[in-house]
Chain A
Amino acid sequence: KAGVTQTPRYLIKTRGQQVTLSCSPISGHRSVSWYQQTPGQGLQFLFEYFSETQRNKGNFPGRFSGRQFSNSRSEMNVSTLELGDSALYLCASSPQAGAYEQYFGPGTRLTVT
């Protein structure tokens, strides 16, 4: 089976802009979770989608949003980018909803200047 894919792998944006990141889960996996990883805060949960519904949300401002499509592919959007949003954004899929074993993609490295 192909693994989790994320596009793009690298992105440079300017403060105030918005960005959309894409994730394709492992075939058959219906749960997609997003995480933000920074050197200072580590890996933090953003949100989880299961069957096109947001099932859980982490402690992030409303500028961070996401959605899931009927084919389980997911996108996350960050509006009005801030310098502190620079991070590695990881997508993970799982066959079941909830805190089950996660299969991660390689991540999208976002740099905000």
Chain B
Amino acid sequence: TQLLEQSPQFLSIQEGENLTVYCNSSSVFSSLQWYRQEPGEGPVLLVTVVTGGEVKKLKRLTFQFGDARKDSSLHITAAQPGDTGLYLCAGPKAAGNKLTFGGGTRVLVKP
């Protein structure tokens, strides 16, 4: 069982639609990071959320950290084919310790 559970595992939508990806845990995290990975490349950091209830926006992407700091979500508005990729959430397993990753959500945005 992964410490961070992501859902859904796979999402296929049409260009212009909205989507939400979830990252859940039974443990409290001091922070959570979101990455996007495109085929043949390494993950690229999108955002870090630190405060419970925090909402961060990155153009059409909105990230939210749960009030209890056990979950996070990523919402994409009006998805574009360029949003296609593997979205990963990650958090420190313990204070200052190694990073643990969720299983990822593979997003396909069809033109």
Contact = CB atoms under 8 A, between A and B. Distances in A.
A104 B43 contact: yes
> At the interface, is chain A mostly helix, strand, loop or mixed?
strand
Contacts of B78: none
Interface string B19-50: 00000000000000101000011111100100
Given A42-B2, A43-B88, A106-B40, A99 B45 contact: no
Contacts of B97: 56, 98-99
Contacts of B43: 43, 90, 102, 104
Interface residues of B, number: 24
A105 B42 contact: yes
A4 B44 CA distance: 11
B42 A107 contact: yes
A106 B43 CA distance: 8
B42 A45 contact: no
A58 interface: yes
Contacts of A56: 97-98
A92 interface: yes
Contacts of B90: 43, 102
Contacts of A48: 98
Interface in B54-108: 88, 90-93, 96-104
Interface of B: 2, 33, 35, 40-45, 48, 88, 90-93, 96-104
